[in-house]
Amino acid sequence: MKSAHLHWLLELMVIEPVPLVWILPSFNGQHTNSLPIPNYKSEDYLQLLISALRDRSIAMVSDDHAVTLEDAVATVTRFEKHGPEKPSNRLMFRLTDAGGKAWESLAEPQWEKFFKFEQTYISSNSDDLRVSGLLASRNRDAVIAYLGWYERLESVNVQWDSLKIVTHTDYEAVYWKRLADVHEAIFDGVRQKMDRSVPAPVRDWQLSLNNWYVKPWNRPDWS
């Protein structure tokens, strides 16, 4: 197994656990924003999962309950051959502590550049598409700068009276990693139907915020 391929698998579940049905019986990159592994077939993804399960880098859970290694291997083997009996997101993979450390050794994250973006749609009785936004980083200037461009970048009218900025001493950056001195902005807004134009340098800056760790497809042993 190439290091880049293990990196790829761990990368899928760095931010949050991922359903088994996103990987088997065929990889679904639409949900993961990840490239497929070149020349990989379903049996290759199966063996990659089994290897990571056996070395305890990842674990399977069902409705938040741990699945034994034996049952997890049997389940992924059955999925690869027959697929799920019915569509289900109950079976999930998550990183273990060992998996988190393995990802860090491969991705070389610069935690001082950590940046988190979340946007959640809120149900509403009105015609407005209401959203809840979250920005978090150790770099307070990056959070403030993103807020300044948020309405254009995300086509959202921010309700500025809802804005709260808090500095956390023990922040859950991702579900397996906590950081100190993280500045978090939380706010509400209304999503606009038409996208707004953004100058190219600003869009490039926005994309650069995700470059705080190495991506598996940028590794020399990726192909």
Residue 167 has pLDDT above 60, yes or no: yes
Residue 87 has pLDDT above 60, yes or no: no
pLDDT interval class at 82 (50, 70, 90): confident
Q: What does the pLDDT read at residue 17?
A: 93
Task: Render pLDDT for 88-111 as a digit per residue (tens, 0 to 9).
Answer: 668 999 999 999 999 999 999 999
Distances in Å between the Cα of 96 and the Cα atoms of 11, 21, 46, 56, 215 are 13, 20, 19, 7, 20
Distances in Å between the Cα of 141 and the Cα atoms of 46, 118, 214, 222 are 43, 18, 23, 34
Question: In the chain, what are the domain boundaries?
Answer: 3-108, 111-208
Q: What is the pTM of this model?
A: 0.83
Query: In Å, how far from its chain's centre is CA 62?
Result: 19
Task: For residue 97, give both structure tokens.
Answer: 């502590």
